Amino acid sequence: MIETEDAQSGPASRRFRTRMYLNYACVIYNARNEKAKRTQFTTQVRLFQDGQEVFVGAPVPLDMSHQKDMTRLVISRRLFLGTILTPGDYLLHLTVTEPTASGSPRTATRWIDFKVVDQKAND
C-alpha cells in the first residue's frame, strides 16, 4: 500500500492519481441516541465528473459495533480510485439513509470535490 500514498494527495489539496485511495470521513449528529444501536443506517457513495455519474457504490450498512457515542456516529471509509478514471475534476457524493417507522427514510447527503491528475504530473 506504500505505493498508493502520496504527500500531495492529502485532504487539503485533494489531488489524487489513479490506483490511489481516497479516504473520507464524516459524523452523523442526532442519530436518535440508544435507538441508533438498533437502527440499520446505510451509506452509499457516488462519483460524478462534469455532472455525469461515473460510479455508484452499493449501499453499505454502517457497523454500529465500534461506535462509542450514539449521538455522534462516525463514518470512515476508503475508496480505491482504480484505473478507469480520467484526469479531471470529480465530486464524491455520500448519502446516509436511516429507515423510520413511518416508512419514509431520513437521508442526509454531503459532498466534496477532488481532482484526479495525470500519473506523471508533479505539480
pLDDT higher than threshold 80 for residue 13: no
Amino acid 41: pLDDT: 86
Q: Could you tell me if 78 and 57 are in contact, meaning their C-beta atoms sit under 8 angstroms apart? A: no
Q: Could you tell me if 14 and 67 are in contact, meaning their C-beta atoms sit under 8 angstroms apart? A: no
- Which runs of E-coded beta strand occur in 5-82? 15-16, 21-29, 42-49, 52-56, 60-61, 72-80
**Confidence class for position 37, pLDDT limits 50, 70, 90:** low
Structural domain that includes position 63: 13-116
> Is 7 inside a domain boundary?
no
Q: Could you tell me if 94 and 111 are in contact, meaning their C-beta atoms sit under 8 angstroms apart? A: yes
* Mean confidence (pLDDT) of the chain: 81
Query: What's the pTM?
Result: 0.76
> Is 28 inside a domain boundary?
yes
> Is 8 inside a domain boundary?
no
**pLDDT tens track for 96-116:** 998 777 778 888 899 999 999
> Is 56 inside a domain boundary?
yes
